[in-house]
């Protein structure tokens, strides 16, 4: 894929400082360069164009993370507060997002070789399998929860005394309506 950014090659402290400033999103590129020169006077600094390219990629990554966070919130709303559901769904979505990003980057490269295509195809297959496994797992969880609920209802009906007008015929009708056999 593309070559490594000069910002990625900087001292980790400088790179962390740049990323923090980019997350804050308050400085122009020129102000960010001045900030770097003031904070790290003896360190190597990236060019304005390298910093601009890095900012663009960083913004794409941050947008992707915000989308994943939104999806995780939606998953929690849909599936409940079970952290396993949230983590599994988020992992699958993150994997899918990363694969899509890699595919788009590969498409923009002029010299894509067969090894990259093979790796991307494998990653796409893994993402699809992860989605399928996540769906299967959610369906299995629903099935188990349904079985547990029916067993609990069956126990409560069996323990219900015959008084207050609740006859055996009424209990049978309730069992049939709930699907308890």
Instruction: State which residues form the domain around 2.
Output: 1-62
Task: Give the residue, 167 or 34, on which the prediction is more confident.
Answer: 34
Evaluate whether residue 102 is within a structural domain: no
Evaluate whether residue 33 is within a structural domain: yes
Task: Give the residue, 36 or 68, on which the prediction is more confident.
Answer: 36
Per-residue pLDDT tens for 118-144?
Answer: 676 677 667 667 667 767 777 888 889
Evaluate whether residue 129 is within a structural domain: no
Evaluate whether residue 52 is within a structural domain: yes
Total count of residues recorded for the chain: 181
The lowest-confidence range among 25-29, 44-48, 123-127, 155-159 is 123-127
Evaluate whether residue 44 is within a structural domain: yes
Q: What region does 161 belong to: left with phi over 0, alpha with psi -120 to 50, or beta?
A: beta
DSSP code per residue over 116-142:
HHHHHHHHHHHHHHHHHHHHHHHHHHH
Residue pair 109/1 in contact (Cβ under 8 Å)? The answer is: yes
Evaluate whether residue 9 is within a structural domain: yes
Per-residue pLDDT tens for 93-109?
Answer: 666 676 666 666 665 55
pLDDT of residue 114: 62
| pTM for this prediction | 0.43
Instruction: Kindly calculate the radius of gyration of the chain based on its CA atoms and give it in whole angstroms.
Output: 28
How many structural domains does the chain have? 1
Evaluate whether residue 176 is within a structural domain: no
Handedness of CA 5, 6, 7, 12 (dihedral sign): positive
Residue pair 1/102 in contact (Cβ under 8 Å)? The answer is: yes
Task: Give the residue, 174 or 40, on which the prediction is more confident.
Answer: 40
The tokens of 122 are what?
Answer: 């494998």
CA 8 vs. chain centroid, Å, equals 24
The tokens of 180 are what?
Answer: 């308890």
pLDDT of residue 83: 45
Evaluate whether residue 5 is within a structural domain: yes
């Amino acid at each position: 894929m593309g070559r490594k950014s000069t910002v990625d090659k900087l001292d980790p402290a400088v790179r962390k400082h740049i990323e923090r400033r980019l997350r804050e999103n308050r400085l122009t590129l020129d102000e960010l360069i001045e900030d770097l020169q003031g904070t790290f006077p003896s360190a190597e600094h990236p060019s304005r164009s390298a910093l601009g390219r890095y900012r663009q990629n960083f913004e794409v990554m941050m947008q992707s993370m915000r989308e994943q966070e939104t999806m995780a919130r939606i998953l929690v709303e849909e599936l409940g507060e079970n952290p396993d559901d949230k983590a599994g769904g988020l992992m699958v979505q993150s994997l899918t997002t990363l694969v899509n990003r890699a595919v788009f980057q590969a498409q923009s490269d002029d010299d894509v070789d067969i090894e990259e295509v093979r790796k991307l195809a494998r990653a796409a297959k893994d993402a699809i399998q992860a989605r399928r496994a996540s769906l299967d797992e959610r369906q299995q969880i629903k099935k188990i929860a349904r079985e547990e609920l029916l067993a609990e209802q069956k126990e409560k009906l069996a323990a219900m005394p015959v008084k207050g007008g609740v006859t055996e015929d009424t209990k049978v009708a309730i069992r049939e309506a709930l699907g308890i056999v």
